[in-house]
Amino acid sequence: MYDTIMTDLVDTILAPPGKAQDALVFAYGQTGTGKTHTMLGPDASLSRAAPANGCIDEDWGCFPRVVYNVWDRLKSSEQPFVLSISAAEFYLMTGGDLLADNKPIVASLQTGEPLGLKQVILQEPSQVLDVLAVIRKNRHTRSTKMNQSKGDHQGSSRGHASILLRVSRIETESGVLIETALNLIDLAGAERPSKIGVKRMSGYDAMIEIMNNPEKVSTDAQASLINFELHLLGTEVVTATQAHKTGSKPYKPQGLLNSVGMCALGSSLTGRAKIAIVVTLSQAEDCGWETWFSCQFGTNLSKLMTPRLLRQPSPVRVVVKGSIETLVDLRKNLAIKTVGDKYRFKRECTAQHELERLLVLRELLNTILPKEDLDKLFAPLQALEQNEEGKN
């Protein structure tokens, strides 16, 4: 499966300047059919030490293999590059940073992209195992009748996970910056209440329970909301397909119920990313309905034809200066505290997004610029940080 799907997506994010595009793969299927197993690998393979000499573990899933593949290809190309990982979980209509103890995040009003995520810069490819250990620890999981926790296995995922490998590189001939990302979406499994051992609950009752006590949500309410969100995503796929087909106006994510997850997942249907899907199925005879439903979702997504929105390369110094100016403006705005400012948190997340990007760019330029030039380029950022420390 890796050679069939993932190598093409890696080619997409590593294409030459002006031809590179983001990539995304959905893992969709009934609960307990192996979505997380396929995307990450069995828990035991992620817990043991990485093989020596840059080799991969034959039991690894798609994501650690992608990291090693991308690292090896960029290393052999002799291009300056930095790989970083960020991860979000969309749980109970909210979004959290899986690499920062589920700190709340928001979605961009313009693109639907998650904002406020921490980026972990990889110093070597084997570090991906440490990052995935944090992600697995922070995901919401629960043992169910069809996906029980046992040993290292944590049971059923109760939210949708988005794990991004971000690639920042400088093309050696032109000196331009190329930023792309491969996004792995591990969707929570579709569930029939009777099969996972819970009672059927309406979406309204589930939302009331969640609002009354978000810290202690029953498996019944979780299952209801998971199925509801998967239904919304399926509807969004059909909506995007029709919008792109008619071409009357550009498709934009609907942002149903102002859900961070639905905005983020819907943003992937705009054409910004080349999309693939892995549908996992059960061989059990009594899972026929779930198998049909999963295949129908895959069929609908396969009909999606989007424009190719390519990542445009830019001079790296221009990008750094522009990002610093944006961050400075945001920090000045945040310094003005207004009662009832409902957009303040969104600006905080946007500022964090710009800061994380700048930290990656500094790491990238550290490999090619003299220290004096690097310090001069990032002097406004250092002054901003010193000013913030002085206030605190």
- Binding annotation: 29-36
Q: 317-348: buried (b, 16+ CB within 10 Å) or exposed (e) per residue? A: eebbeebbebbbebbeeeeeeeeeeeeeebbb
Distance CA 93, CA 77 (A): 42
Complete DSSP assignment for 118-130 = --EEPSSGGGHHH
Q: Which amino acid is at 57?
A: D
Contact yes or no for 156/130 (Cβ under 8 A): no
Closest CA to 1 of 43, 35, 31, 32: 35
Q: Let me know if 390 is exposed, middle or buried by CB neighbors in 10 A (0-12, 13-18, 19+).
A: exposed
Distance CA 252, CA 263 (A): 9
Closest CA to 263 of 387, 109, 380: 109
Distance CA 203, CA 353 (A): 33
Closest CA to 41 of 53, 52, 30, 27: 27
The binding site for ATP comprises 29-36
Closest CA to 176 of 366, 325, 317: 317
As given in the structure block, the two tokens for residue 318 are 């221009």
